[in-house]
Chain A
Amino acid sequence: MNKPLIATTSLAGCFGCHMSIMDLDDRILQLIELIEFNKSPINDIKTLSKECDIGIIEGGCANSDNIRLLKEFRKNCRVLIAVGECAIMGGLPAMRNNSASISECLQEAYIDCVSVQANDEGLIPNDEELPMLLDQVYPCHEIVKIDYFIPGCAPRADLIWDVLTALISGKKMELSYECFKFD
């Protein structure tokens, strides 16, 4: 039997959840015995080259490219998992949702902020290569259907391990209290 294929990506996140995957330490060797990575920052494969069994999403959706990528994952992954606070509820990037509009954010970041030094023309970055910012940061499950959620900021490595091994083996998992955190 072929090993299950896993793809991972980080949307509007900090890669902290991927750091948590790295935090599996030597278990990552056991993991690659059990599964095969497709697109993922871990192996630096840039594109989804085939249908995957499990997709892991870190981060919420803050721009148009996040949306595109999330939809692509949904299309190509049998099971989609939202990992971490940002994917589940927007996380720290979503702190702009309840406090400022996107124009206020850009104005502050590129023009008004005291640390802005060399922007005499008052430019706001604008290039066709750049994705467009969304009015809000969206939790992943408001964009596509999400099958499982792994909370934490970042989720503890043990929790990620438990979830992945349970999924691969098809066994029911116990959610240990100590691993289950929102921070």
Chain B
Amino acid sequence: MDTKTIKSESAAITAIIAGHNNNSTDLMDILIDVQERFRFISEEAVGIIAKAISSSISEVEQTLSFYHFLSRTPTGKYTVYLNNSAVAEMMGRDEIAQTFEEEAECEFGTVSEDGNIGLFHTSCIGMNDQEPSAIINQRVFTSLSRKGVIELVHAMKNGVEIDDLPGTGVRSNIIRPGPILTMEAQPAEILKKTVSRKPEDVIAEVRAANLRGRGGAGFLTAMKWQLCRAVKAERRYIFCNADEGEPGTFKDRVILTERPELLFAGMVIAGYAIGAAEGILYLRYEYKYMAEHLEDVLRQMREDGLLGKSAVAKQDFDFDIRIQFGGGSYVCGEESALLESAEGKRGEPRDRPPFPVEKGYLQQPTVVNNVETLCAVAKIMLKGSNWYRALGTVESTGTKLLSISGDCERPGVYEVEWGFNVNDILRMVGAEDVQAVQVSGPSGTCIASSEFNRRLAYEDLSTGGSMIVIGNQRDLLKDIVLNFTDFFISESCGSCVPCRAMTIQYKKKLEKILRGNGVAADIDQMLSWEKVMLVNRCGLGQTAANPILSTIRNFRELYNSRLRKHTDFVSEFDLSAAVRESCKITNRIPGPGGG
């Protein structure tokens, strides 16, 4: 590279950093911008960034190296991230991956020799209803076919602009809209109604609706708000958790595309209720393609006076919303990891206490709510808690958005009242010959037909909203459980020992059983390790063995049928494989059995 190019590059990087006021808490944004501009973050770039934000190269690297979509080596002019979720594999991902490799003439994990195309695997990108799919330079290509990939790579080889590349974009796939997804009022109306009441009354209304967090944990929303409001502080924050990283979940994608006004209205309401000055939408990087659309909506809201100084024409209510992108990390869906990430750090969950409502973003009281929760809040403010409470069951009020994918005729988003049972849902989505349903993604539970009469409700079968239908034609352990286990291995933040290291032991055991070398004691051992998994710091780590544990509990026969009987010890040592290399060097032929 000549000095001139280097100069113009460093000028561009300096301009990017200046655009973020040389602020170290904006490190994620800076890194993302540099990554997108240069398709990687060079050593020089890291040096410039470190200097500008008064940090060190190592510290910048500390953050940078944590995130999947940030790279220290070039990722190609076109960077292809092909989803490797279990459903993608069910829908023919292997053939697509192979086609990419053949056409681009490079292997996954590498960049083509001319530096044009980079191929990479990535965890679920929230497109399970239209797999196989891939992200190429922030643009999402869905329902990929072999023919489509050939055309796509051909166009990339010809230098076609990203926006002009041939392919199918994201479809919303709302199959069954319900009260939340039905747009009945503009945000202005909802917000005017809200600010005409006292913040305490807003919280009381949400409490009366008995709204519980839709992320999965089911904590009472009003209580979270109340706790946050009660902490004395200069500044409070409301975060919307749009990290939606649980494989098989994509309902937030649909809300963000179809009903962003409702979500932002919900954030304003929450901000008003807790006394926050800023709302931050933490959006997973996989959804970067929505950025422009969402910024447009926010701009419009600002123009309409719904955001900014004296928002909604309410004196002393200064409130605005900004978008914070993640960098590719499942763990950042955990609220305290999300806050760390938003501060420009590694997405490692924090120790609790203190809880985010006491010390959250930048050590200030912070509420983190799910996308769907905030939409429900907006609807509750519009139509009242009585209306809301009439939906669902007594303990689980309202509706639930479900992301349904896998072996069914009509994958997509369904809004149902709490209380629906699994059989009803399977009928609704056109699923027959069902072997299992993975409820709430890999961290949830895999249930067999004997449990299909269970109801979706906090008091029965709780769910964050993902349901993956697994047909009888699938090898549940090999096609699904192994994939999920790999997912947890690659997404562990690495901080807690059991999450980082035990997941690998689980995989080894599962593979041993899949090779037909397992014994009964292996199953007992895997069950006994659950205790150790449960001491991980965050909920994601605690549930990382659930794919194996829940299938051992609900599909024991699938394991038993693969075990070696009448023995308590099987060695997987293979003498002929072990001596292969030394025989080759010495030109010897191993005797029978390798010896």
Contact = CB atoms under 8 A, between A and B. Distances in A.
Chains A and B touch (C-beta atoms under 8 A apart): yes
Interface of A: 64-65, 67-68, 101-103, 106, 124-126, 128, 131-136, 138, 142-145
A64 B581 CA distance: 13
Nearest to A133: B582
A135 B577 CA distance: 8
A106 B582 contact: yes
Contact of B588 (A103, A126, A143): A126
Interface string B553-570: 000000000000000110
7 contacts: A64-B595, A67-B575, A132-B588, A134-B579, A135-B579, A135-B581, A144-B571
A68 B590 CA distance: 14
B586 to A, nearest CB: 4
A68 B595 CA distance: 8
B578 A103 contact: no
A103 B580 CA distance: 11
Contacts of A134: 575, 578-579, 582
**What 9 A-B pairs have minimum CB-CB distances, sorted nearest first?**
A126-B586, A145-B569, A133-B582, A132-B579, A134-B578, A64-B595, A102-B581, A135-B578, A102-B582
Nearest to A123: B586
B571 A142 contact: yes
Contacts of A133: 579, 582
Nearest to A128: B588
Nearest to B586: A126
A135 B573 contact: no
B182 interface: no
Given A103-B581, A103-B585, A134-B578, A64 B569 contact: no
A135 B580 contact: yes
Contact of A64 (B571, B572, B575, B587): B575
B594 interface: yes
B594 A143 contact: no
B142 to A, nearest CB: 42
Nearest to A107: B585
A132 B582 CA distance: 7
B573 A126 contact: no
B378 to A, nearest CB: 56
Contacts of B587: 126
Contacts of A67: 573, 575, 595
B586 A124 contact: yes
A142 B573 contact: yes
Contacts of B586: 124-126, 132
A158 to B, nearest CB: 30
Nearest to B595: A64
A65 B572 CA distance: 18
A145 B573 CA distance: 12
Most buried by A among B578, B588, B595: B578
A144 B575 CA distance: 13
A80 to B, nearest CB: 11
Most buried by B among A65, A67, A106, A128: A67
A65 B579 CA distance: 11
B230 interface: no
Nearest to B567: A145
B233 interface: no
A143 B573 contact: yes
A138 B583 CA distance: 18
A136 B578 CA distance: 7
B569 to A, nearest CB: 4
Given A67-B575, A133-B579, A106 B585 contact: yes
Contacts of A132: 579, 582-583, 586, 588, 590, 594-595
A138 B585 contact: no
A99 B491 CA distance: 27
Nearest to A68: B595
A60 to B, nearest CB: 12
A101 B581 contact: yes
Contacts of A138: 573, 578
Contacts of B588: 126, 128, 132
A165 B579 CA distance: 39
A102 B573 contact: no
Given A102-B581, A132-B590, A135-B577, 14 more contacts: A64-B579, A101-B581, A124-B586, A125-B586, A126-B586, A132-B583, A133-B582, A134-B579, A134-B582, A138-B573, A142-B573, A144-B571, A145-B568, A145-B569
A124 B17 CA distance: 58
Contacts of B594: 64, 132
A34 to B, nearest CB: 29
Contacts of B572: 142
Nearest to B568: A145
Contacts of B577: 135
Interface string B494-508: 000000000000000
A65 B582 CA distance: 14
Contacts of A142: 571-573
Contacts of A101: 581
Nearest to A138: B573
Interface string B315-346: 00000000000000000000000000000000
B579 to A, nearest CB: 4
A143 B575 CA distance: 10
Contacts of B583: 132
Nearest to A136: B578
A126 B573 CA distance: 24
Contacts of A124: 585-586
A107 to B, nearest CB: 9
Contacts of B569: 144-145
A64 B574 CA distance: 11
A106 B583 CA distance: 12
Nearest to B585: A103
Nearest to A106: B585
Nearest to B577: A135
A102 B579 CA distance: 9
A133 to B, nearest CB: 4
